[in-house]
Structure 1
Amino acid sequence: MNYICPKCQHSLNQQQSAYYCVKCNKYFTYEGEFPNFLTYEKYFSDTSSEAIEKEEEANINKVKKYLVPLFKKLFKNEGPLKILSVGCGSAVEIDVLSDIGYEAWAVDTGDRINYWNRRKSKNLVIADGRNLPFPDKYFDVVMNFGVIEHVEETSSKNIRNRERAQYAKELLRVSKVGGYNIFGFPNRLFPIDFWHYEKHGMRFHSITNDFLASFKDINEYLSETKYSLMMVLPLKNYFSFKVTDFNPYLKIFIKPFNFYMNMVSSGPQFIRRSFLNPHLVIIIKK
């Protein structure tokens, strides 16, 4: 990989165990086996090893049952794809995709990088999705799940919208023309958030609460970026709901809720984008 400077997008010189940008005079070093292209301190959260294992199991299921069939449908009879996972966490999907034959890469900034030593693949980079160290138009697929709502989540609305727009545009920058970007996140317009837990394993919120995003928000973030298609995908096989092992209160709702989500997300686009859909998987063709 020919990395570029995440700050100015100039080419980098590799000097032993570091990368150097001659344009902005910035050094980027390795953290263990992995290059660190952050310009600020890493993000940390308290995540148990048990939670990581459940998360990895769910992500493996998502790759095998949802993403790989989707890739085969989108890229018929094409060679090995170049795929980037942004906000990859422990990056278990990279090993699964690499074993299938894809050139898979991943980036993250948080404490889950401590689990990267489990991975066979070493195509892992410590980097911010708003400032990626990859060249323009490199990847066939750039995907991120449960990430955009955490971009500047505690900042003011203006800062948050600006930074989320930068994040979305940066993901499209590194994708090829004709390639795809996939955003997965809870829908702001649906009043119950099952993915960011509070006391009873769910979070109730007003649709004006802008911690989460909506289809319209993504469209606005990319208002100055060229793309040829944006649509909401069905959710069938997207979830395994392993996370509910930590929330017994929710277990009785899983089957009817899963049925409801599959039904709504398989409807026409105006239904998929609406307040009726709890979770959005948006695909954008560049």
Structure 2
Amino acid sequence: MLRSSITTLDGYHGLLPRTWTRDETCDEAYVDAQNDFQAAKARAFVLPIVREAPVRTVLDVGCGMGGMAVALETEGYESYGIDLPGLTRRWSSAGRSADRFYLVDPDAFELPFLDGSIDFAFTFGAIEHVGTTDGHADRRPDWHAVRRQWLREIFRVLSPGGRMLIGGPNRAFPIDVAHGPDSRATAWERWLARRLGATVHRTWGDNFLWAYPDVHRYLEGLPYGMEARSIGGFLDFSRVPAFARPTARAYVARMPRSLLGTGFNPWVMALVTRRADG
């Protein structure tokens, strides 16, 4: 199932350059905040979707402290997590198994798994940072090409009939509570972000966020199908302020299925299936 690893760091393996040195740039506060509710999010939102089809192997891409992967393992799945090298010491202190957690190079994203070896992969809040120079909102000149390679690499490891759930704030929706403005935001967008405490952005043109059409752009030519999913049940684990959650829940709950794949949906939640005939 696993490809040959070329690097070991703090006991964890990955397809990293041999010259790689430890990256200590992980956001400790963010990692801790995510870790507080990872297991609950896995059971409340991810597990019901995993159970819709026969699944043995599960992969969390951008797993952070790995709470979701561990929770799914306790549910009987062969569960793996991957993330950047800055987390190795945190993984070790938390007792994360080197047989279940692996490292990836953010500049040359390669998964350490064989083709077709994963039945279900998921990633939340990661793709919008892929192809950036700062890991946040400053896009590289080749950012679309980098994201294309990133998404196709996850697709590569899916088994025939396997699925991947890709989630992140929707560029086509004008409000983003999870991030600051794009590095090329206009003056009025930055002014609104300061006043409102949330990013308000244009829904046209480029932005470091992504949208449903990008899924088709990046997977063009591959044997796949895509279904837009509701983010109901996910909001309690997001950065929507507590005072706004009742309104947000009602908005999402009443959204017609026909609008899930549009700019009316605050998040992209794309369930991609690798067709068994491809």
The alignment's TM-score, normalised by the length of structure 2, stands at: 0.81
The aligned counterpart of 1:16 is none
Matches within 5 A, 1:146-157: 146-154=125-133
CA contact (8 A) 1:58 1:242 kept: no
Aligned residues: 250
Equivalent residue of 2:51, what SS? Answer: helix
**1:126 pairs with 2:103:** yes
- Tell me, which stretches of 5 or more residues in structure 2 are unaligned? 181-192
> In structure 2, what residue type is equivalent to 1:124?
F
**1:112 pairs with 2:87:** yes
Picking from 218, 221, 227, the partner of 1:221 is 218
Identical-residue share of aligned pairs (%): 24
How far did 1:161 drift? Answer: 0.6
Q: Provide, for residues 182-207 of structure 1, a one-character-per-residue CA deviation record: whole Å limited to 9, x for no partner.
A: 10000000011111146454212112
Separation of aligned partners in 1, 2:261 and 2:122: 19
Separation of aligned partners in 1, 2:89 and 2:222: 35
Q: 1:231 to 1:158 in 2, by over 3 A?
A: farther
Picking from 250, 258, 275, the partner of 1:259 is 250
Separation of aligned partners in 1, 2:215 and 2:141: 15
The aligned counterpart of 1:231 is 227
How far did 1:141 drift? Answer: 0.5
Picking from 99, 111, 123, the partner of 1:144 is 123
The aligned counterpart of 1:2 is 2
> In structure 2, what residue type is equivalent to 1:138?
S
Separation of aligned partners in 2, 1:110 and 1:191: 33
CA contact (8 A) 1:63 1:96 kept: yes
Q: Which moved more, 1:255-264 or 1:153-162?
A: 153-162
Separation of aligned partners in 2, 1:38 and 1:126: 7
**1:36 pairs with 2:36:** no
Separation of aligned partners in 2, 1:254 and 1:114: 35
CA contact (8 A) 2:121 2:158 kept: yes
Separation of aligned partners in 2, 1:201 and 1:222: 34
CA contact (8 A) 2:139 2:208 kept: no
Picking from 82, 88, 96, the partner of 2:57 is 82
Separation of aligned partners in 1, 2:85 and 2:10: 15
Picking from 87, 92, 103, the partner of 2:78 is 103
Picking from 21, 27, 32, the partner of 1:53 is 32
Q: Provide, for residues 180-236 of structure 1, a one-character-per-residue CA deviation record: whole Å limited to 9, x for no partner.
A: 011000000001111114645421211223201100011111112221x20111112
Q: 1:190 to 1:42 in 2, by over 3 A?
A: farther
What is the Cα-based RMSD across aligned positions, in Å? 2.3
The aligned counterpart of 2:47 is 68
> In structure 2, what residue type is equivalent to 1:144?
T
The aligned counterpart of 2:166 is 183
Separation of aligned partners in 2, 1:262 and 1:113: 39
Equivalent residue of 1:104, what SS? Answer: strand
**1:273 pairs with 2:273:** no
The alignment's TM-score, normalised by the length of structure 1, stands at: 0.79
CA contact (8 A) 2:177 2:239 kept: no
CA contact (8 A) 2:170 2:268 kept: yes
CA contact (8 A) 2:114 2:157 kept: yes
